[in-house]
Amino acid sequence: MQEKTLKSSSHARTDLHNRLAHLIATNPAFDRSIVSFQANKREPFYRWFRYKEGFSSHLVHYCLTAIARHKGTLLDPFAGAGAALFASRELGWNATGVEVLPVGPYAMQARLAAEAIHSSQIERHLRRLAACDLSDMAAEQYEFPHIAITEGAFPRKTEQQLSGYLSYCHHQVRDPQLRRLLLFAAFSVLEDVSYTRKDGQYLRWDHRSPRQLSGRAFDKGPIPEFGQAIVRKLNSIAEDLSGASLLPPPSSLGAIDIRIGSSLDVLPTLPAGHVHFILTSPPYCNRYDYTRTYALELAFLGCDANHVKHLRQQMLSCTVENRDKVDYLRESYRIRSDLSTFSRVDQVFSNQAALQETLDALQAHKEAGLLNNANIPRMVWNYFYEMCFAIYEMARVLAPGGYVVMINDNVRYAGEEVPVDLILSDFASSFGLAVERIWYLPRGKGNSSQQMGAHGRQELRKSVYVWSKPAPEPRQLRM
């Protein structure tokens, strides 16, 4: 049966596209692997921990060599696991990253710790671990701190071995940097040894899990015991550390500054005009809930259910469960005696015609019962409202002559395309940034099979946008 469709106006979106069309082009230097995590698979750190919500170091190198005018300070306000920070640092840039989900900062700190570790230190502990039974070292204080969403994630033997390994790390490893790296190894195998697999908006559960499951049975395939997985992981890390140097000489490295928190809170505290390049990929407006997909890792880090719920609301609104942050943002700017900025950004959001047209269309689809979740219009509203404030702050902290490069996907709901790249670029223009280019991949992102059945196959742009902050023209002297 064909799904009901609703015809909505697209005049404002067409006008915006026509206004920016001369800036939209493909870039032969980019493909899907470069603008995603895939090109990182051959690099040591990304073999240790699979973090899919990021871009490659190749993209960072390209942007800083092809676009930036000179070295300086780089900012990534949605830093993830730090691809932009570490790649720019290798090129001699100082880098600041802001990340609210504890998973990213934990991974970055472990990566920094690895720089002080020699492979022989890991090999020594591998020999010790091979001579003992991890289950025998299990202790109540090191039992996995489950939250509701992770209950039943591991076989009992794996839980015992994990507890024993944590006990070993805390009692037998004196060097804090080495201990951090060994704990990170356990953190990195949680998904492998569990009944779960990350799958976009949620965790998929294997049919062998003790949880009550509904829907089609999912078979993850072989699930190793923790003891087997941790030995493989530590051997991989030791092998990488014993190979060629992972870093340029220390004298050529820039500094890394990791700020843990929401960009909406951290960016307003940064001084104006001190950043020379911003390279980032914010969460997409796609309903992905990273507090669910990374639930095992968050629980490992000690986040209880209340903390996870708080993180979900702190993050940029990209799920249907996010509440709006209007009052929160108004109060935060009031506390800084800057309500005029709040009003200005709020007005830019309200005046963006293509966005308002999109929101009206989604609301009409909601009222017609055509959305699979009635909260989608609210989520899209929240997403762009918060991104409007984030872009204002990026423009404020960027130095004249500096650049912003942002990676993002357009999205579609009930056949209604949301031109994320065009709307965010128009926000940037409203705050004094020049839209230099909107690059898109030759092969776009396909819509879901459900939407293709109802609305036909239509590719969505996966875009890399480049904005600049004009430098003031030199003052002419009168003779």
CB 441 within 8 A of CB 24: no
If one compares 202 and 307, the residue with the highest pLDDT of the two is 307
Confidence of residue 121 (pLDDT cuts 50, 70, 90): very high
| DSSP class per residue in 354-373 | HHHHHHHHHHHHHHTT-SSS
C-alpha 189/C-alpha 191 separation (Å) is 6
Q: How far is CA 142 from the centre of its chain?
A: 29
Dihedral angle, C-alpha 106, 107, 109, 115, nearest 10 °: 160
The overall pTM is greater than 0.85: yes
Domain stop point among 189, 220, 242: 242
186 and 134 together in one domain: yes
pLDDT at 251: 63
Confidence of residue 453 (pLDDT cuts 50, 70, 90): very low
Task: Provide the H-helix boundaries in 175-244.
Answer: 176-188, 226-242
C-alpha 268/C-alpha 283 separation (Å) is 19
Confidence of residue 35 (pLDDT cuts 50, 70, 90): confident
Q: What is the overall mean pLDDT for the chain?
A: 91
pLDDT at 455: 46
Confidence of residue 37 (pLDDT cuts 50, 70, 90): low
Residue type, 240: D
338 and 261 together in one domain: yes
Q: Mean pLDDT throughout 182-195? A: 98
If one compares 158 and 452, the residue with the highest pLDDT of the two is 158
Confidence of residue 244 (pLDDT cuts 50, 70, 90): low
Q: Mean pLDDT throughout 31-39? A: 71
Buried b (16+ CB within 10 A) or exposed e, 219-251: ebeebebbbebbbebbeebbebbeeeeeeeeee
- For residue 448, pLDDT over 60 is answered with no
For the chain, what is the domain count? Answer: 2
**Residue 164 belongs to some domain of the structure:** yes
- For residue 479, pLDDT over 60 is answered with no
| Per-residue pLDDT reduced to its tens digit, 252-290 | 789 999 999 999 999 999 999 999 999 999 999 999 999
- For residue 421, pLDDT over 50 is answered with yes
| Cα dihedral sign, 331-335-340-345 | negative
Element holding 314 (H helix, E strand): helix 305-314
C-alpha 272/C-alpha 259 separation (Å) is 17
φ/ψ of 73, rounded to 5, equals -110, 130
CATH number of the domain within which 71 lies = 3.40.50.150
- For residue 22, pLDDT over 60 is answered with yes
- For residue 32, pLDDT over 90 is answered with no
How much of the chain, in percent, has pLDDT values that exceed 90? 78
C-alpha 206/C-alpha 192 separation (Å) is 12
Return all residues near 216 (Cβ < 8 A) that are at least 6 apart: none
262 and 236 together in one domain: no
Domain stop point among 207, 242, 277: 242
203 and 259 together in one domain: no
3-state secondary structure at position 374: coil
Residue type, 474: P
Q: How far is CA 407 from the centre of its chain?
A: 11
Q: Among 344-358, 359-373, 446-460, which stretch is predicted with the lowest mean pLDDT?
A: 446-460
* Domain housing 134: 116-242
pLDDT at 247: 56
256 and 234 together in one domain: no
| Per-residue pLDDT reduced to its tens digit, 47-64 | 899 888 888 889 999 999
Q: Tell the burial category of 412 from Cβ atoms under 10 Å away from its Cβ (0-12, 13-18, 19+).
A: middle
**Residue 477 belongs to some domain of the structure:** no
- Greatest pairwise CA separation for the chain in angstroms: 87
123 and 49 together in one domain: no
306 and 446 together in one domain: yes
177 and 284 together in one domain: no
Pick from 236, 148, 221: nearest CA to 191: 221
| Per-residue pLDDT reduced to its tens digit, 319-334 | 999 999 999 999 999 9
C-alpha 276/C-alpha 72 separation (Å) is 6
Beta partners for 439? Answer: 25, 464
CB 370 within 8 A of CB 414: yes
pLDDT at 475: 54
